Amino acid sequence: MTETSPLNRDGRVLAAVDASAYTGSVCQHAAWAAARLAAPLELVHVIDPVEQTAPVDLSGNLALGEQETLLLQLTALDETRSKLAQERGRLLLQQARQMAATAGADDVDLRLRHGGLVDTLLELEEGVRLFVLGKRGEHADFAKGHLGGELERVVRAVHRPLLVASREFRPVQRVLIAFDGSPTTRKAVEMVAASPLFRELEVQLLAVGDGEGRRDLDWATRTLLEADFSATAHSVDGDPEDAIAAHVCDQRIDLLVMGAYGHSRIRRLIVGSTTSAVLRSCQVPVLLLR
């Protein structure tokens, strides 16, 4: 697959919804983003393949007629599960559409798909300007604070910007860019400067440590100021995960912008672990970029 540009100036906002506690927030964040981007909004629900049960051994004590009867019953059960899953999906999408409408979305398209979430989003990616997902899906372990496994796979797979919705929606006024001087975060600064998503919002930059991020803060700040943003730069020492989370809390940040997982093994160990940790610890939505 050919890698696409991280900033698509056309296309729609595509939000994936399920039965998790994040669905309301996903719809609100998606409606907010679609309105600011003047982009169409589409909600998609993906029905995973029916979970396979343990193979049924029909070669034992069952007579031939009994085996055939059992196979027919199992087939009927699978068909019933499939119909129920489709009906559930349609109801979820209808409820999500109402949530998005309440949040201000005028026209919302719905899409029900079968298959895996990652494969579905990759198939639809060409026409997408921004993806929106919840931090955790309906099967995530909330008690242990785990991220949804699907989310991590989506983050590593897609190339479009991905807005990871927090548990609760609140109006976005202050934006923080976690800046390390890498090509990804330099693109993030340029994207923020060019995108209507961030117009008239307060933007802060944060560099942690004494690397390229701190040295290039002047460039990043100047880029935003030249685009008529109210921008301020901050640099701190310490562990990136803790420093970013602390700054988000102390400065009452409403939206965090940062790079996603890297591709190389070494960069994945460094950037990937930071990405996951920040997603777990920050209670605000996170916009992830390649």
Clarify whether residues 251 and 186 are in a common domain. Answer: yes
Number of domains in the chain: 2
pLDDT the model gives residue 192: 94
One domain, residues 140 and 212: no
144 with 189, same domain: the answer is: no
Same domain (yes/no): 106, 126: yes
Please report, for the domain that includes residue 50, its CATH number.
Answer: 3.40.50.620
Kindly report which listed range (13-22, 71-80, 219-228) carries the lowest average pLDDT score.
Answer: 71-80
Q: Which structural domain range is residue 83 located in?
A: 1-166
46 and 25 part of one domain: yes
Integer Cα distance of 106 and 124 in angstroms: 22
Shared-domain flag, residues 147 and 177:
no
Q: Assess whether 131 and 180 both reside in one domain.
A: no
63 with 106, same domain: the answer is yes
In a shared domain, residues 175 and 84: no
Q: Are residues 94 and 196 in the same domain?
A: no
Q: What is the pLDDT of residues 41-64, one digit of tens each?
A: 999 999 987 544 445 555 556 566
Q: What is the pLDDT of residue 63?
A: 61
Domain end, chosen from 166, 196, 230, is at 166
Burial 94-112 (b: 16+ CB within 10 A, else e): ebbbebbeebebeebebee
Position 268 pLDDT exceeds 70: no
Q: How is the beta sheet containing 162-165 ordered, strand by strand? A: 108-114, 41-47, 12-16, 128-134, 162-165, 286-289, 255-259, 174-178, 202-208, 230-236
Domain boundary among 137, 166, 195: 166
What is the band of 238 on the pLDDT scale with cuts at 50, 70, 90? confident
Residue 25 vs residues 32, 58, 165, 233: alpha-carbon distances, Å: 10, 47, 6, 29
Query: What average pLDDT does the segment 157-170 reach?
Result: 92
The pLDDT assigned to 48 comes to 82
Q: Which carries the bigger pLDDT value, residue 82 or residue 212?
A: 82
Average pLDDT, the chain: 82
Predicted model pTM: 0.82
> Which pLDDT score is estimated for 181?
86
